[in-house]
Amino acid sequence: MTWLAWPSTASAAAGQGLDHSARGARSRLAALGAAALLFGAALAGARAESFAEVDVRAVFLRNFALFIKWPPPAFDSPSAPLRYCVLGNQALHASLERALSGEQVAGRPLQLTDAKDPAQWRHCHVLYVDHRAAEPSQRVLAVVNEAPVLTVGDTEAWARDGGIVALVRKRGRLRPLINRTAASRARIRISSKLLRLATLVSEAAD
């Protein structure tokens, strides 16, 4: 699978006087993206253990922006940022912050924002909810119901309960599960390229 390259700005960042630790962390993320070529080591054939799983998840989340279309009302302007939010996983928050630094998609800067207040959840374009988050998943999904928010979790139950995407570990690899019904409810369009690589799941019956 070689149809997606990691659109990194690591080389530019290296010339801006970053300290060695930040530069090293960003270089690792750039290398991970280059090796993945798609959505991280999982789908490119390398096992998730080859890299820190939190970094693989960050690559997935960052690259989702290339395969998702949000409805125009989701943005205030053509250059408004695409906002990412993470609940319940500080390590992922830190890794994603590095992965998004300086990046843009279709002229929109990718921005990681805090979303501790439930009132902020509907203003996220990508909302990742870890299974360890203090907020019950059903509450989060109820708050963002029908809002144009790409909801991402880490369990199959998340997708079956109404989340749009779940990144789950299967046989040592991260795999995306997608609930197309939930995506339609949020007026979010998912590229056929991503759909072909994902496992489609149905919502649990009430």
Sign, CA dihedral 74-77-82-86, equals negative
* pLDDT of the residue at 24: 55
Answer yes or no: is 161 within a domain: yes
pLDDT at 94 over 60: yes
Q: Report if residue 32 sits inside a domain.
A: no
| Domain of residue 63, residue span | 52-200
Query: What is the torsion angle, in degrees rounded to the nearest 10, for the CA atoms of residue 117, residue 99, residue 165 and residue 153?
Result: -50
Total-model pTM: 0.79
Q: Nearest-5° angle of CA 122, CA 62, CA 56? A: 120
Q: Which pLDDT band holds residue 35 (cuts at 50, 70, 90)?
A: very low
- For residue 69, give the CATH number of its domain: 3.40.50
* Separation between Cα atoms, residue 74 and residue 76, nearest integer Å: 7
96 φ, ψ (degrees, to nearest 5):
-65, -35
Higher pLDDT pick, 172 / 77: 77
Tens-place pLDDT, residues 45-60: 434 445 688 988 998 9
**Tally of CB atoms within 10 A around 122:** 15
23 assigned to some structural domain: no
Question: Is the pLDDT assigned to residue 131 strictly greater than 70?
Answer: yes
Domain tally, the chain: 1
Residues with Cβ within 8 Å of 75's Cβ and at least 6 positions away in sequence, in order, are 82, 108
Does residue 27 have a pLDDT over 60?
Answer: no
